[in-house]
Structure 1
Amino acid sequence: MNTQSATHARRHSAVLMLCEGALMIALAEILSLYPLYKMAWGGSIDLAMLPIFVFCVRWGFAPGMVASLAHAVLQTLMEGGIAIGWESIIGDFLVAYVVLGFAGLFWRMKGGFFIGTTVGCALRFLVHYVVGATIWASYMPEEFFGMTMTTPWFYSALYNGFYMVIDWAAIMLIGYLLTLTPAKKFLRPHDQA
């Protein structure tokens, strides 16, 4: 391959990455506007992470982190979520969504979509869990899911675990269903699709 065609291929790949990134971020924002279930204090069950994970496993860690950061900023600005200060904005919106980009670490691995989704969801849960148990501790109800709440750590685990586990399971199921169709190419790195 000569230098000119190599430059053209890199430029084409960069344009493709930017276009896919923009589409996936837009799709994530649209999906976040239509939650399947909305909880008090801002938690929700939705499929907004799915396009971010797809982008991460197609393009890798660095582009995945940039897309996750863009998604995080848009979630912070557009979500209309509940926050009780700059700490909860940084934790529950910025950091919690940026960590989704770690899914891109697994982009070249067999099963990378499923491993990356699991890691991204686990990291997001961990951020929400710590923020919930520390910053939101004073908002802990006496009872949740019919159980008496004794510590903010237990409450945060239940509250955040409820929607995060369902989000993770739904995305894993959709990912599995995609592997049964020609769309499975979107769960592989862009240069292997």
Structure 2
Amino acid sequence: MSWFVNAEGGLTTAGYGAGILLMLVCLLAGLVLAGRSAGKQGMGVRQLAFCAMAVALAYVTSFIKPFKLPYGGSVTLLSMLFIVLVANWYGVRAGVLVGFAYGMLQFLQEPYVLSVFQVCCDYVFAFAALGLAGLFRGSKKNGLLTGYVVAVLARGIFHTLGGYLYWMDYMPENFPQSLKAIYPIIYNYSYLLAEGLITVIIIKIPAVEKALERVRRSAVQ
């Protein structure tokens, strides 16, 4: 493990290389499986292009942080929405795959390693969970909105689990004992729900709704 993680919990050069390699292998495997499940040899060029654009936009907007918490987590410029859009267009499999790719980019951007399962909770499972928005793909009314809310809540579950299992051990000795049972929930959902609320307000603006519908039609035609 020391080959890949330094004493501060960050990644070494070998760690970055292994992370990139793992992401590429998993993405290729996911693309093959997604294609087979759809009765095709692979995703269509249009779908691949829209998925790639969604990951790129999510990654770029994740750097724009109007509010950032001291122990990790921040309100970003609608970064989760782009992953949810893919799930809404193409279903759960594509959404989970794109969410996984985005999570790995987040890990490579700001890595912190306490254990393999902690990395899975904070990066792999949490961001892949955004793909659950695809469960509401067929909903004729408010499918995107419902899927987005469920995706945000699902992501929060894994961050909260990581908080209980790992991060609470790093709280100061004078941290109130009465708050330990609920602090990971409050901490993680504070920034997730704040960004979620802002995003919901924006996507319910009539002009934005029409623009998103035009993009959806272009993505799925």
- TM-score bracket for the superposition, by shorter chain length: 0.7 to 0.9
- Aligned AA (1:182): K
> Which stretches in structure 2 are left out of the alignment for 5+ residues?
1-39
- Aligned AA (2:73): G
- Alpha-carbon RMSD across the aligned residues, in angstroms, is 2.3
Match of 1:135 among 159, 166, 171: 166
Distance in 1, matches of 2:181 and 2:98, equals 30
Match of 1:111 among 132, 135, 142: 142
Within 5 Å, give how 1:43-62 maps onto structure 2.
43-46=73-76, 47-62=78-93
Within 5 Å, give how 1:148-163 maps onto structure 2.
148=176, 150-163=178-191
Q: Which residue of 2 aligns with 1:40?
A: 70
Q: Which residue of 1 aligns with 2:94?
A: 63
SS of the equivalent of 1:77 reads helix
Q: Which residue of 2 aligns with 1:174?
A: 202
What do the CA deviations read for 1:118-167 (whole angstroms, capped 9, x no partner)? Answer: 11001111111111122111123445xxxx45243311111112101101
Q: TM-score, normalised by structure 2?
A: 0.72
State the percentage of identical aligned residues.
27
Q: Which residue of 2 aligns with 1:25?
A: 55
Q: Which moved more, 1:45-54 or 1:131-140?
A: 131-140
SS of the equivalent of 2:157 reads helix
What do the CA deviations read for 1:16-40 (whole angstroms, capped 9, x no partner)? Answer: 1111000010000001112111111
- Aligned AA (1:90): C
SS of the equivalent of 1:93 reads helix
Of structures 1 and 2, the one with the larger relative CO (CA 8 A, separation 6+) is: 1
Cα deviation for residue 179 of structure 1 reads 5.6
Distance 1:180 1:98, change over 3 A: closer
Within 5 Å, give how 1:90-129 maps onto structure 2.
90-109=120-139, 110-129=141-160
Cα deviation for residue 188 of structure 1 reads 4.8
Distance in 2, matches of 1:156 and 1:114, equals 25
CA contact (8 A) 2:156 2:189 kept: yes
Aligned length: 177
Distance 1:83 1:37, change over 3 A: farther
Q: Which residue of 2 aligns with 1:3?
A: none
Distance in 1, matches of 2:152 and 2:202, equals 15
Distance in 1, matches of 2:206 and 2:89, equals 14
